[in-house]
Amino acid sequence: MIKSVHTLDDLVSRDVLDAGAEQPARLAVLGWPVAHSASPGMHQPALDANGIAARYIRLEVEPGKIPEAFEKMRALGFIGCNVTVPHKFDALENCDEVDPAARALGAVNTVRFDADATRGFNTDGPGFANAIGDGFGVPLASLKVAIAGAGGGAGQAIAAQCVLLEVKELVLINRTVGKLGPLVERIRELGCKTKITALSFDDASLEDDCRACDLIVNTSSVGLKPGDPPVLTSNCLKPEHLVYDTIYQPPVTPLLAQADQLGCRSANGLSMLLHQGALAFQHWFPETAPLEVMRAALSKR
């Protein structure tokens, strides 16, 4: 029986890794945990549609084990991998070369194992921008944006993407506001025309600053677990808001339920998963156009 989740112990040899499979595992999503990831469900159909004889797997990697994972994957001839929580910062530090856009975004979520180097990219920021345009019908650059949980890997990438697109205003919210200092410094170096405000969830001006924005984004993990409260109070929202939660499982988080009750237009992170995944696939296979195959696959979930 083929495993739904692999570990580093399975990378000991091809015989172990590919036991019972018709195709070799040559791509993976790395996370801790990773069993919930929908990435194989869209990447595998794209591989099959393009006639690429490879299997895309989930690989559970403990924190601190990214160097070992990359070494073992290279030894087994992997093409590349996607990287999710909590490994995006470690991935950046363990690539031989990092794409300038990924360096600006502050994290790596896509890795390509070339013969001469391990190369890192970030498709979270561009994928998010494409998801907003696709889902809401408005360009991200035209919006004032508030990001809850901006200190994490996805939050930092989205914040940097907003600045690269020169959104007018950007409100960064984090449990520990001091953690936002390095992020604010780094994105201001991008030639920032954006007004940036950094707040904690306890800040007295939080509600007013959120209500002055057009788009509210949750990039924190609040909403993943049953019983989680909404990441923001209902006073932070108004019916005119666009509300986006980067979480896609569960499909309706407490924040999205709250937004729906108020009449906001809302969307979950499945569209960002789709768009960042399609861009990642094109880093591995530049001549392909996987978006619609991936979209169809995700729609069947």
Q: Residue 73 is part of a domain; what is its CATH number?
A: 3.40.50.10860
Same domain, 129 and 115: no
Q: Which domain holds residue 147?
A: 125-271
CATH of residue 166: 3.40.50.720
pLDDT in tens, 11-54: 999 999 999 999 999 999 999 999 989 999 999 999 999 999 99
Query: Looking at the annotation, which residues are catalytic?
Result: 88
pLDDT over 80 (residue 255) = yes
- Whether 258 is covered by a domain: the verdict is yes
Within 10 A of 263 (CB to CB), how many other CB atoms are there?
12
Q: What is the pTM of this model?
A: 0.92
Binning pLDDT at 50, 70 and 90, where does residue 301 land? confident
The Cα–Cα gap between 53 and 276 comes to 22
Report helix, strand and coil shares of the chain as percent, to nearest 5.
Answer: 40, 20, 40
Same domain, 20 and 97: yes
Total count of domains within the chain:
2
pLDDT in tens, 196-206: 999 999 999 99
Same domain, 135 and 262: yes
Same domain, 67 and 105: yes
pLDDT confidence of residue 191: 74
pLDDT confidence of residue 260: 97
pLDDT confidence of residue 287: 94
Q: What is the mean pLDDT of residues 199-219?
A: 97
Mean pLDDT of the chain: 95
